[in-house]
């Protein structure tokens, strides 16, 4: 069986057969645009790195709690208590009244006990 190629599209009358020009892409203009794009990308990358450093700094106390738990320096319940205190400090604030902190802390502990997924995670801390 012989497969034949399709023919080329017909040439329109009055056309030269060349592709239409998109615009001139001068080497110097392109290099300038490329340099500007690189510098903008570097500024954005620097801002992104600064944001990551802040997130890492905020997560450090919780990771320290995890490391202490794995090392056996903390019991699972003490680790949970420290994490809840950390959450209260970050979300409610250290200057919040004792009643507010107690109410939010109780809600967090209740969620840990009532939610099946969270309760399983808490139980798995004691098994490791």
Report if residue 111 sits inside a domain. yes
What's the number of domains the chain is made of? 1
Residue 18: both structure tokens together: 């060349």
Q: 7 in a domain, yes or no? A: no
Q: Say if 72 falls within a structural domain.
A: yes
13 in a structural domain? no
Specify the DSSP class assigned to residue 51: H
pLDDT of amino acid 45: 63
In a domain, 99, yes or no: yes
Evaluate if residue 106 carries a pLDDT over 90.
yes
- Residue 66 has a pLDDT of 86
Residue 114 three-state SS: helix
Residue range(s) defining the domain that contains residue 84: 33-127
Q: Give the position of tokens 């006990």.
A: 113
Question: Quick one: CA dihedral 6, 11, 17, 18, positive or negative?
Answer: negative
Q: For the residues 88-112, what does the mean pLDDT come to?
A: 92
Task: For residue 76, tell me if it sits in a domain.
Answer: yes
List C-alpha distances in Å: 25 to 19, 28, 29, 84: 15, 9, 7, 60
Tens digits of per-residue pLDDT, 31-71?
Answer: 777 777 777 766 666 655 555 666 555 556 788 888 888 89
Q: Is residue 21 part of a domain?
A: no
Residue 12 lies in a domain: no
**pTM of the complete model beyond 0.85:** no
Cβ-based neighbour number of residue 79 at 10 Å: 19
């Amino acid at each position: 069986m012989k497969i034949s190629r399709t023919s080329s599209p017909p040439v329109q009358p009055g056309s030269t057969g060349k592709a239409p020009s998109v615009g001139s892409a001068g080497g110097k203009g392109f290099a300038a645009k490329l340099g500007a794009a690189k510098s903008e990308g570097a500024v954005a990358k620097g801002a992104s790195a600064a944001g990551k450093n802040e997130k890492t700094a905020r997560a450090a106390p919780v990771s320290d709690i995890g490391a202490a738990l794995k090392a056996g320096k903390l019991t699972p319940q003490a680790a949970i208590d420290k994490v809840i205190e950390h959450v209260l400090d970050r979300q409610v604030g250290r200057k919040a009244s004792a009643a507010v902190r107690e109410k939010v802390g109780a809600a967090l502990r209740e969620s840990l006990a009532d939610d099946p997924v969270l309760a399983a995670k808490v139980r798995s801390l004691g098994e490791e």
